[in-house]
């Protein structure tokens, strides 16, 4: 038997052990499962005016790292590697993120890297750590994501293209602004403004209900930060413990009154697109056998992930292509998933993906999404996991999927099991 055939046989046996298939197979417990023992995030706050407007990305990261150490009780010395997804940080954040890990309490023996796969950076960081554990490179690691859009978002986020890149039509499309892309996609795919506004209003309403019921409290680590009052100029010390972009009273009718942002006859506007925001999230991973040896409480299990490419001008359809691939790798069907956390970059793309995949609305972002509480670019992929695992546990459900579209035309998805 060739090595490729052996690997295929091993994968097949993993998902059909004891004759089990689908959910029965992925919920089985094995010593080499890649498990999550802690998943936390900061609150998400409004870019430029929210609670973290004066806080550097690395400081947010240090805060969530400390939260993971405290909540999990992990000995920092056993954490061998930390991967951090971030999109806008100068130099990729490599220097600052290493410093953040040290100030949070990790020793010099803990390695740190930064990475950028645009809006899926946080998820990619976590998958990188999971794969490093699976391959035997490390035993314990943290995948994280962070973004300070208050300090680093703006025209400089997209660099000028060379003549070589500009001369290729598909290449040149990689730098078309997201709002313009989504406006065109909404027209091409016939996603009406009324549908977008209804979806966006629902996101706000679900988030308001969840926040009032305290459903985000378990996943959020409060952070004490310095904040300058824009009216008085006075610097204060505040504790940020709740998402401050969530607004009550939003309806499809109220959203319908907002002027389009990218075209006079357009459908995309500030109320049906993700909020510019700041935040960080981190996920602690190891094998099940390691967690048991270290006395770590297991809250979830990583099953499989996918990454795909689509046309740059159709970047919003990424989840539609990525989710079926992840489900196939996990050996389950779309109907066996209890909750889908699909990033709401824009209502237009999210609602199109959901409808095209034939997913029930009640399974999509049950506590709201990025339209309601924000999308700190590099953070979102990690944030979704804390939101998902907390909600699966609360509702006594098992299987979840996280997914997002990715700038320049990609999509990513991952399958998770709650314990």
Q: Which residue has tokens 């060379």?
A: 162
Distance, in Å, from the CA atom of 130 to the CA atom of 137, rounded to the nearest integer, reads 10
Contacts for 314 with CB less than 8 Å, ≥ 6 apart: 181, 185, 188, 409
**Catalytic (active site) residue 119:** yes
Distance, in Å, from the CA atom of 14 to the CA atom of 30, rounded to the nearest integer, reads 9
Q: Which residue has tokens 């109907």?
A: 335
**Catalytic (active site) residue 405:** yes
Q: Which residues pair with 399 in a beta bridge?
A: 417
Which listed residue (38, 119, 353, 379) is catalytic? 119
**Catalytic (active site) residue 350:** no
Distance, in Å, from the CA atom of 170 to the CA atom of 137, rounded to the nearest integer, reads 37
Q: DSSP letter for 341, please.
A: E
Task: Please answer whether residues 244 and 339 qualify as being in contact, where contact means their C-beta atoms are separated by less than 8 angstroms.
Answer: no
Which listed residue (38, 350, 379, 405) is catalytic? 405
Q: Which two tokens stand for residue 333?
A: 């069907």
Distance, in Å, from the CA atom of 402 to the CA atom of 326, rounded to the nearest integer, reads 10
174, burial (CB in 10 Å: exposed 0-12, middle 13-18, buried 19+): middle
- In the three-class reduction of DSSP (H, G, I as helix; E, B as strand; rest coil), residue 274 is classed as coil
- In the three-class reduction of DSSP (H, G, I as helix; E, B as strand; rest coil), residue 102 is classed as helix
Contacts for 207 with CB less than 8 Å, ≥ 6 apart: 243, 246, 367, 368, 369, 372, 373
419, burial (CB in 10 Å: exposed 0-12, middle 13-18, buried 19+): middle
Q: Which two tokens stand for residue 411?
A: 């999509």
Which listed residue (269, 350, 375, 379) is catalytic? 375
Q: Which two tokens stand for residue 401?
A: 């999927």
Q: Which residue has tokens 């300058």?
A: 228
Task: Please answer whether residues 183 and 193 qualify as being in contact, where contact means their C-beta atoms are separated by less than 8 angstroms.
Answer: no
Q: DSSP letter for 353, please.
A: H
Residue numbers annotated as active site: 119, 375, 405
């Amino acid at each position: 038997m060739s090595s490729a055939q052996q690997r295929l046989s091993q994968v097949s046996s993993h998902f059909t052990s004891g004759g089990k298939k689908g959910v029965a197979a992925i919920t089985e417990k094995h010593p080499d499962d890649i498990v999550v023992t802690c998943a936390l995030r900061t609150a998400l706050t409004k870019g430029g005016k929210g609670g973290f407007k004066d806080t550097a990305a690395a400081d947010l990261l240090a805060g969530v790292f400390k939260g993971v150490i405290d909540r999990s009780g992990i000995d920092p010395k056993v954490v061998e590697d930390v991967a951090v997804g971030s999109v806008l940080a100068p130099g990729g954040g490599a220097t600052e993120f290493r410093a953040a890990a040290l100030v949070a309490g990790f020793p010099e023996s803990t390695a740190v890297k930064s990475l950028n796969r645009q809006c899926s950076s946080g998820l990619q960081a976590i998958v990188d750590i999971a794969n490093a554990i699976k391959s035997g490179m490390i035993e314990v690691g943290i995948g994280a994501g962070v973004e300070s859009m208050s300090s680093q978002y703006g025209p400089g986020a997209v660099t000028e293209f060379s003549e070589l890149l500009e001369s290729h039509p598909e290449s040149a499309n990689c730098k078309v602004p997201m709002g313009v892309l989504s406006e065109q996609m909404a027209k091409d795919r016939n996603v009406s403004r009324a549908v977008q506004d209804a979806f966006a209003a629902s996101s706000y309403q679900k988030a308001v209900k969840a926040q009032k019921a305290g459903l985000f409290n378990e996943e959020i680590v409060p952070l004490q930060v310095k904040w300058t009052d824009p009216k008085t100029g006075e610097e204060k010390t505040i504790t940020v413990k709740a998402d401050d972009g969530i607004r009550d009273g939003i309806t499809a009718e109220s959203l319908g009154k907002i002027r389009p942002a990218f075209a006079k006859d357009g459908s995309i506007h500030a109320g049906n697109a993700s909020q510019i925001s700041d935040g960080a999230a981190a996920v602690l991973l190891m094998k099940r056998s390691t967690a048991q040896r270290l006395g770590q409480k297991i809250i979830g299990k990583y099953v499989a992930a996918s990454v795909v490419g689509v046309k740059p001008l159709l970047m919003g359809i990424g989840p539609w292509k990525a989710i079926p691939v992840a489900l196939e790798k996990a050996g389950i069907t779309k109907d066996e998933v209890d909750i889908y956390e699909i990033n709401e970059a824009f209502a237009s793309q999210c609602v199109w993906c959901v409808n095209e995949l034939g997913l029930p609305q009640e399974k999509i972002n049950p506590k709201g999404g990025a339209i309601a509480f924000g999308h700190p670019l590099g953070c979102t992929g990690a944030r979704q996991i804390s939101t998902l695992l907390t909600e699966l546990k609360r509702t006594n459900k098992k299987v979840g999927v996280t997914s997002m579209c990715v700038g320049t035309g990609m999509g990513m998805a991952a399958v998770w099991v709650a314990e």
